[in-house]
Each structure stands twice: as C-alpha cells, then as structure tokens.
Structure 1
Amino acid sequence: MASNTNNQSRTSRLQRLRCSVQNYDWGRVGHESAAAKLFEKNSGLQIDGSKCYAELWMGTHPSGPSFVVKEEELLGHDNKDASLKSWIERNPGVLGDKVFDKWNTNLPFLFKVLSIAKALSIQAHPDKKLAEMLYKTQPNVYKDDNHKPEMVLAITDFEALCGFTEFEELQDILHDFPEISEVVGTACADQVLNCTEKDGEGSKKALQVLFQQLMSITDEAVSYVVDKLINRLNLESKERELSGKEALVLRLEKQYPNDVGVIVALLFNYIKLKPGEALYLGANEPHAYIFGECIECMATSDNVVRAGLTPKKRDTEILCSMLTYKQGSPEILRGVSINPNTRRYTPPLDEFEVDHCVLKDEKSVVFPAVPGPSIFLVTAGKGTVNAEAEETVSEGDVLFAPASTTICITAASELQLYRAGVSSRFFGLE
C-alpha cells in the first residue's frame, strides 16, 4: 500500500520533459533558430551551428516523442519506456477522467515551437475520416489516423498563406497576373471573371476548377509561366514598387525555382501576424507558413497533404479533392486576458488551447487546477514553479502538469512561458 501511495504522489507532481527536435531544411540555421536554442537548453545537448533546426516537439507523437526525465533516471536514458506516452499509459489518471473517457491514454494535443527561414509546403491537413483512410492505404506516408486542426501563435513577425482570397480579390489577381489565364486557358479564367460572390456554389465551383487546372499543368508549362512572370516582375520592379504579393512571388521563386506553388500562392490570403497574434487552421484548409517563429499547437497528428513549394511527396489529386474552397480572410486571434499576466487563445475545438504568460521580476501568477493535463514551456527568463513542491525553472524547461494540479509561478527575472492544455470549452469552464 505504501509503494502505491508513493507512486501516486510521484505521478501527481510536475514532470520535467526532455523533448525532440526536427531538422527540416526550411528551418533556421544553428543558434538563429529559437527551436534550436530551446532544445539545447532543454536537452543539454550541443546544437550543430551548420544544421537547420525547424521544430521543437512537446508531446507523445512517435515521430518526435518527449521523455519524462525522472523515468529516464530510473530506467536508463535510452529506454523507450521513459517516454511521456509510456508513462501516461502506466499512469492514465494524470489525464483526468473526462479526457481519458474521450481519448483513452492519448494526449490529445501536440505542442511545438517553429523556426522558419523559408516557406513550408502548400498543404492541408485531413479531417478525421480522410486521415483514417490515408493511414490505412499509405501508412508509410501518413503516420497516424488522426485529424490535425492547428493554431499558430506568433513569437516574431510571422508570414503565412492561409485560405483562398475573397472572390473580388481573386478576379483582381487574374487581371493583374495575366500569366495565370495564359497557362490555365481563357475559358477557365473567364468562369471566374464572369461570376459574382452571389453565385454561391457557382463561384466556388469556378474557383475549384481554376485551382485544379493550375495544380495539374505540366512541368514544362510551370517552368514557362514562372519564368515569364518572374522576368516581368523584375523589369517592373525597376519602374515601380511591387505589391506585397508580387514581392512574395520573387522570394518564393528563389526558394523553389520552377515550382507550381510560386503561381498558386497568388490565390491565397497573404497574412502578416504581429507577436501575440494567432491563426486557427481547420481541417481541409490550404495554407503555407512563409517566415518567422511561432508557437504551434494541434491535435496529435503529423498528417500533411502537400502539393507545392516542397521537394517532398506531393498528393495533388488528394489535396484538390479535400479542400473546402471557402473564401475570405481568416480571423486573427488576439487572445483573451484571463489575468493581468496571461492571455488565452481558444480555437473552436476540444483538443487544445494555449496560454501566453509574461511575468515581471518577483511577480507571481496562479494557474488554477483544471480537469485535464497541461504542458508548460519556458521561453525566456527564470523563476520558480510551486505545485506540490517548489522547483526552479528557466529558459528551455518543459513541464508536464497532471490533471487537477494547481500551479503557482514566480519570476526571478522577466519570465515568459506558454501553456498548452485541453480546451476549457471541453470542460464547460469558459
């Protein structure tokens, strides 16, 4: 009985995590990358100054697992049973009853830091039904059967393509970039130009046909139209200041020469976030992150359907068929103040929410107990965290907080941290 009590006490405490990093080629190099610097402090491993560091992962996904530091000390550093996933499976009570009832022993969210030097692929994430089908038919490409709604919260100025432009702007694009009409054909372009937003399904169908036609042009046609567009913009840049999208096209072409994504990018909303602003991306919505650093949270999945701006496998037909073809600018989320130090970002789904907390010297904040688990990431400064016991924390520390844990944090110097947890909406706590 005593050992069971000791085990229960051990699992009810905050757990330090050692996290994983991903070295994708779009990441920032060496110490220019926030993901790299946080990983170095988190793991104690020296980073390679010549390597790209793209993403720090905090969670249970097998492609980038986190490990419970105390379990590693008990079981050995390389023991897979020390993973957060294995630890939760042995101690399911840390998730809380309601979370366990819905997701079993699966932590429902995956928490990341992204450091982006060049554009990610034009992509969308499947809904649950499509994810299950892709996992069943292509398990070597699609590594799990879960959907992947996600939210990005800007740390620095951040650029993204997100969703299709509203219809009037799409028509302006066809006028301003005649190269598109030339490569898809005037009949296809005229379908869009002759529609109005009032046409409803008709205008959506016209957009869908345009996008599919553009995505399916031959490599030779892509090379021709990209060269023609780039040459024109380079000439015109000597006579006038280019628009934001025109300048973006030149940047993308340097990163991904002769890629259809250079042209397709014109059809999307070009969004610039300031630090503290966020975007939510639902299933089956096209997007591409362009530049900057951010916190990202999503349902626990790594499913990505790509079709442009990438050397990786493209599933153009699947991407074209899965999209909603919804048009209009996405909502910019600025968070809601839950106390003088903390803003909360709550997307419209159950799996996750994100808090951003900034504490000045010697200030304290209390995160009340909630019925589900949380992961805390310290991105700057140092201080103390007091749950059942007091611990010192500093930049790069990642902590797993079991359900029903009250946490008090005090800053020793200006301290910044982010918390990911199951949505308050799921618990009826909004």
Structure 2
Amino acid sequence: MESRYPKLKRLRCSVQNYDWGRSGMESRVAKLFALNSGAEADVQRPYAEFWMGTHESGPSFPLPAGCDNGGPDISRDVTLKAWISSNPDVLGDKVVAQWGCDLPFLFKVLSIAKPLSIQAHPDKELAGALHKAHPNVYKDANHKPEMALAITKFEAICGFISMEELKQVLRDVPEIVEVVGSTDVEKFIRLDEQEEEKAKSLLQSIFTKLMSASADIVALSVSQIKIRLELESQARPLTDKEQLVLRLEKQYPADVGVISAFFLNYVRLNPGEALYLGANEPHAYVSGECIECMATSDNVVRAGLTPKSKDIQTLCSMLTYKQGFPDILKGVPLNAYITRYIPPFDEFEVDHCVLPKGTSTVFSAVLGPSIFLVTNGTGTIHAGSMKQDLVAEGNVLFVPANVEIRVTSVTELQLYRAGVNDRFLESCELENGKKSQI
C-alpha cells in the first residue's frame, strides 16, 4: 500500500563542536553543516562531528512542507525519531521486529585536527549497567560497534599489537617497565605463541598497571620517553610509532595515553579504505576526515589523551585484549559507480557512490531505511513515480524501506548511503522463507 507520506524526507542535522575538531571552514563538518542548515560556520570554533540520525544527543529534523516535495506539515521541533515513531512503516517490518521504532544506526562525518581520547565502547550488557548507574555520563543502554571510512588520508591507533610486537616494545621501551614493574613484563616476554590466554591475562595486568599509575609517575615517564627519543633521533631514524608518540606528547604532555600508544596498532588509511571496531576494543582516531557509521549510541569509556573525565577501571576491565592488526575494508563494487562497505555488524553498512557528470545509477529497494548524504556536486534524485528532486552538497535525505532510488549527476556527484546491513535483512528473508515452507 502506498504511504501517504513523501518517500524522500530531507533532514536538517546536528553538529558537535568538540575540542579535537577542525576549525571553521578548514573542517568538512563545518562546510556540510553550513550547507545543510543555512547557518554560517564560526571560524573560531572547532567543528568535529556532523550527526545524521535519531540519537537524542544530536537529533535530525525532517524539514517542513515545501522543502521535501510536499506532504503533511512538520514542525521544526519534531525530531526524526518522533516522526519515525509515528510512522514505523518507514523502517520496514524486519527492522521494527529487531530494533523497535528507531533507526538502528547513527551516521556521521568526522573532521579530526588532533587525537580523540583513548577509548572503547561497551557491549550491550555493560552499556545497560553503565547507563543505569551513571545516566548523565553514559547516555543510553546500547552498544556501539562502529566503522570509519576514510575521506582523506586517515590515522588511528586501535587494538593491541601482536604478541611478538609487544615483546619487542617491552624490551625497547624501558620507561614502561619502570612504571609497571618487571615481573609481568618478564613473564610476557617468555611466553610461547600458543599461550594466548596467558598472554591476555598478562597483557591486562600490564596495561591496567600502566593506565592506573599515578599522574606524577606517568609525567616523569612521558618526559623520559621524549628526551630519549629526541636523542636517539640524532643517531637513527625513528620508527613510525615513535614519531607518533612524540606527536601525541606535544598535544597531550604528561598523559598516559602517550605511553599506551606503544601497545596499540598504528593504522593509516587511504581514502576509500575503512576500519571497523567492535565493542570493548581500544582505539583513538588521530587525524583526518572520515565517514563514520555505528549502532545508535553515544557511549564512550575514556582512559587517556583527553581532558575529559576518565573511567580507567571500567575500560581496563572491559577490553577483550585481543591482539593483532585489524581488518581493513576496501569495499565491494556493486556496479561501476557504487562501492559497499560491509562490517560484521547487523545494524549498518555504508555505500559510496561517485557519479561522473551526466551519468545515472540506481540504488535498489531494500528492506530497511537509509540515509543519503551528498558530499560533492549536484544532481537529481527521485523515487518511483515521484518527480526528480534537485540535490547538492550538504543535502541529507531519509529514505524509507522498500523504495528504489535513481540518482543522476549534473556535475560530478559524490554521495554516501548508510543503511541496515543487507546480510541481516537477507537472513531475515531466508528465515521467513523457511518458515513459510513448514
């Protein structure tokens, strides 16, 4: 049955001005927000995150009549979440059955001038407990698996380095041993590759001692690392990780996060490459700009590289202590113009579309909702029998389930689409098919 509401809903979206964001129009987030909202960016303020979705910390708003191809008048005070709650059919039956009357994903653009905090996101069980105990700090009860898709060259530290790499670090960075003591360090260095469970236990002990050390001890250790590396740089080229540590020290002097970077993988993405992170995995984005998608949550447990409050005990107890380099996604081509990034999470996937001038492509109808963001160029977009609608950089559109979208470029056009993971939707269809045969 045809919905009485427009198939495409333009959105006015929110911005976050965190300290680590890029200033003024050097920030892609600032530019997109200005184009999306009609507001002028403040050149003195950092613009960190552009949020597209239903989370109460940065809600999106359907635009009123006349801005979205007609339909019922919508107050600017009505959030996308409230509108969806009144019209759950736009989510599709499979999404409503799994997640209720809300978008399961949150879509963002990040502009990073200096590193985010060393952090991890809790799983659902821990998120529920943290939200109940500290609702002003942990804003919701959901988990937060996430994926970062690089727009520019992008740097991050994430996940613990391999056992052999960590053994070398413990041999080469004497300041760590001075902070945590030699007992666990010597035990770790003597481990065999097959002793993974012992490695996790010892790594947890070493990392917890490091992160829990007193501020005075940490400050002295960071200072000693800086002095030693600057001296050694005169005799040998520093490694990429050592250079990163010195960069972090300049931005966060005397911070334990500077030392903890030795424990984590240093990841550099080229544009078009993506990194995904599950619950309870340590990470910090360092620099660059990216598209980010995650489960609808804003829960962050911090432990370093931040002036904000830290919860070291919770972070150190929640981590998986899995070791090894993370998987890097390069995307799967759907056609000549669209590449899909599929993380191992049910809540989301991301498509990147690049259309040369004067070309068209189709986004097939899917069983869940989507959000489209135009990041470059101009073109037209239309759904089904609707008339073509002009789109340009900064436009954000909500597309209900079961709606096919055709996009045509006027100039070269780039856009991103976030939607529910197609593998999840296909598995629901397969399961329903099996039940119908019984």
> Shorter-chain TM-score: what band?
over 0.9
- Is this contact kept in 2: 1:162–1:269, CA < 8 A? yes
Distance 2:124 2:65 in 1: 33
Specify the alignment match of 1:398 in structure 2: 396
- SS, match of residue 111 in structure 2: strand
Matched, 1:123 2:141: no
1:322-361 CA-partner distances (Å, limit 9, x unpaired): 0000000001000101111011011112100000000000
The question of 1:238 aligning with 2:234 is answered yes
**Superposition pairs for residues 369-384 of structure 1, below 5 Å?**
369-384=365-380
1:181 touches 1:188 (CA, 8 Å); kept in 2? no
Structure 1 consecutive aligned stretches of length 4 or more whose deviation exceeds 6 Å: none
Helix, strand or coil for the counterpart of 2:5?
helix
Mapped contact 2:63–2:74 kept (Cα < 8 A)? no
Q: Which 5+ residue runs of structure 2 have no aligned equivalent?
A: 68-72, 431-438
Q: CA-to-partner distance for each residue in 1:97-139, whole Å, 9 max, x for gaps?
A: 1111111111100000000000000010000000000000000
TM-score (norm. length: structure 2): 0.94
Contiguous gaps of at least 5 residues in structure 1: none
1:428 equivalent among 401, 404, 426: 426
Q: 1:360 aligns with which of 349, 356, 359?
A: 356
Shift in Å, 1:69: 0.5
Matched, 1:303 2:299: yes
Cα separation, 2, equivalents of 1:426 and 1:335: 18
Partner SS state of residue 330, structure 1: coil
Partner amino acid for 1:9? Answer: R
Distance in 2 between residues matched to 1:389 and 1:314, nearest whole Å: 52
How large is the RMSD of aligned CA atoms in angstroms?
1.4
8 Å contact from structure 1 (residues 117, 291) kept in 2: yes
Q: How many angstroms apart in 1 are the aligned matches of 2:389 and 2:196? A: 57
* 1:66 corresponds to: 60
> Distance between the aligned counterparts of 1:208 and 1:261, measured in 2?
16
- State the SS of the aligned residue for 2:228: helix
Aligned length: 421
Residues 354 and 414 of structure 2 are in contact (CA less than 8 Å); yes or no, is this contact kept in structure 1? yes
Q: CA deviation at 1:319?
A: 0.4
Q: Deviations over 1:59-85 (max 9, x none)?
A: 0000000000126973543x2xx2101
TM-score, length basis structure 1: 0.96
1:195 and 2:191 are equivalent in the alignment: yes
Is 1:24 aligned to residue 14 of structure 2?
no
Residue equivalent to 2:40: 46
Using the TM superposition, give the Cα deviation of residue 235 of structure 1 relative to its aligned residue in structure 2, in angstroms. 1.6
Is 1:55 the counterpart of 2:49? The answer is yes
For 1:70 and 1:62, how far apart are their aligned partners in 2? 20
1:180 to 160, 172, 176: 176
> In the alignment, is the contact (CA less than 8 A) between 1:59 and 1:109 conserved in 2?
yes
Letter in 2 for 1:285: E
- Match of residue 289 from structure 1: 285
Task: List per-residue Cα deviations over 1:193-242 (Å, max 9, x = no partner).
Answer: 11122112111111111101111111110011000000111122223221
Aligned in 2, Cα 1:72/1:203: closer, same or farther, shift over 3 Å? Answer: farther
Q: Identity rate of aligned residues, in percent? A: 60
Q: Secondary structure at the match of 2:268?
A: strand
Q: Which amino acid aligns with 2:127?
A: A
